[in-house]
Homo-oligomer: A and B are copies of this chain.
Amino acid sequence: MKVVGLIVEYNPLHNGHLYHYQESLRATGADASVAVMSGNFLQRGEPAIVNKWARAQMALDIGIDLVLELPTAYCTQNAEVFAYGAVATLDALGIVQQVCFGSESGDISWLQELAAQLKDEPVPFKEALKTHLNLGLPYPKAYARAASSLAGVPEELLGQPNNILGLNYVLAIKRLESSIQPATITRQKAGYHQANITDQQIASATALRKLIFEQSLESIKPYVPPSTLHILMLEKAQDRFPMSWENFYLLLTHSLTVHSPEALANIHEMEEGIEHRIKKHHPSALAFQDLMEAVKTKRYTWNRIQRLFLYILLNLQKKEMERLKQDQKPPYIRVLGFSEKGRQLLHMARNFWPYGGVAFLSR
């Protein structure tokens, strides 16, 4: 069986994702698919609009055969760690031959070449990165500039978030020495950050979430498969949708209240004394949005601060992340759902599973 791997968030699953899934099958000639999907928290450091079980069902409903959870320790990190965890999970399964991702460029060759150069983090690259960071550039911009000067790739290409993710998928494959082959297809129309809907059929997940919060759930109907809307309606009826940071703000503010700056300094990615800035502002913030506005600076991007808050919420400690980094393999594989064909894939994967022990978690 020829199996393609997809790396997804599906927050929520929409027509663009359906297109990506179908094109991935077509482009790779695969006859089965495995999606590695973020759990309840996402790369930008925020809760998914609906829980992982509901989103896994959306994936199964468009035809994906097996949905695995990308462990939280990976799925809430920067592009490098996110990509590494996702590829490592697909690789650990032992049955995936190709991974196919959407990118702005739609061209795999320059990503392959650039990844080959960046793989071992050459000194000129690291020095350029450091220089740009010291000049006050936020990390993604500094990274793009340093990488582009290394390889003569236009900086604009590396400023596009799905190209950067793609680059990191290819880097992860190389670093893991995985046999998985990367492939990419061009993303359709709606940009990742595009908040306004310009097309009748395809809109970004960001735009859809905006519609849901500012208009109504029903307003996303033209842009999603029927199953997505159906599942969201069921979850809404049970008060489990839509979720946002505000649902977790009481818990966050409790954690911020009872922990000293010294304790907060042990949290993953808490650096440069920003814990003092957070402790200073949180007593007067009545909502999560207030706190974000108060804490963010030019240097600390929205996503970076959101992630910090998530690490506080989850009590993700520096020393735990260090332990995880030393481990090449993912800590576990949690199966979120499978079709009949997915059941066969699981059977094959169990035989391939190279690590031994009870690695597959059930619900």
Which A residues fall within an 8 A CB radius of B?
250-251, 254-255, 258-259, 313-315
Instruction: Tell me which residues across on chain B come within 8 A of A259, comparing CB atoms.
Output: 315
Q: Could you say which residues of chain B place their CB within 8 Å of the CB of A255?
A: 254
Q: Shortest beta-carbon distance, A41 to chain B, in Å?
A: 13
Count copies of this chain in the complex.
2
**A259 to B266 alpha-carbon distance, docked (Å):** 13
**A315 adjacent to B251 (CB under 8 Å):** no
Residue pairs across A and B with Cβ atoms less than 8 A apart, 10 shown, are A250-B250, A250-B251, A251-B251, A251-B254, A254-B254, A254-B255, A258-B313, A258-B314, A258-B315, A259-B315
Instruction: Name the CB-closest residue of B to A259.
Output: B315
Q: Which residue of B lies closest to A316 (CB)?
A: B258
Give the distance to chain B from A309, nearest Cβ to Cβ, in Å.
Answer: 13
Q: How far is the CB of A169 from chain B (nearest CB, A)?
A: 30
Tell me how far the C-beta of A153 lies from the nearest C-beta in chain B, rounded to whole angstroms: 41
Give the CA-CA distance A254 to B259 in the complex, in Å.
14
CA distance A250 to B252 in the complex (A): 12
A330 to chain B minimum Cβ distance, whole angstroms, is 20
Other A-B pairs, 8, CB within 8 Å; known A250-B251, A251-B254: A250-B250, A251-B251, A254-B254, A254-B255, A258-B313, A258-B314, A258-B315, A259-B315
List 10 tightest A-B contacts by C-beta distance, closest first: A258-B315, A251-B254, A258-B314, A259-B315, A251-B251, A254-B254, A250-B251, A250-B250, A258-B313, A254-B255
A76: shortest Cβ distance to chain B, in Å? 14
Q: List the B residue with the shortest CB-CB distance to A312.
A: B258
Which residues of B are found within 8 Å of A250, using beta-carbon distances?
Answer: 250-251
CA of A251 to CA of B251, assembled, Å = 6
CB-CB under 8 A from A251, the residues of chain B are 250-251, 254
Task: List, in ascending order, chain B residues with CB within 8 A of A258's CB.
Answer: 313-315
Between A250, A251, A259, A313, the greatest number of chain B beta carbons within 10 A of the residue's beta carbon is seen for A251
Chain B: minimal CB distance from A156 (Å): 41
Closest Cβ–Cβ distance, residue A252 to chain B (whole Å) = 10
- CB A243 to nearest CB in B, in angstroms, measures 15
Chain B residues near A315: list those with CB within 8 A. 258-259
Min CB gap A71→B, angstroms: 15
A253 to B255, CA, bound (A): 12
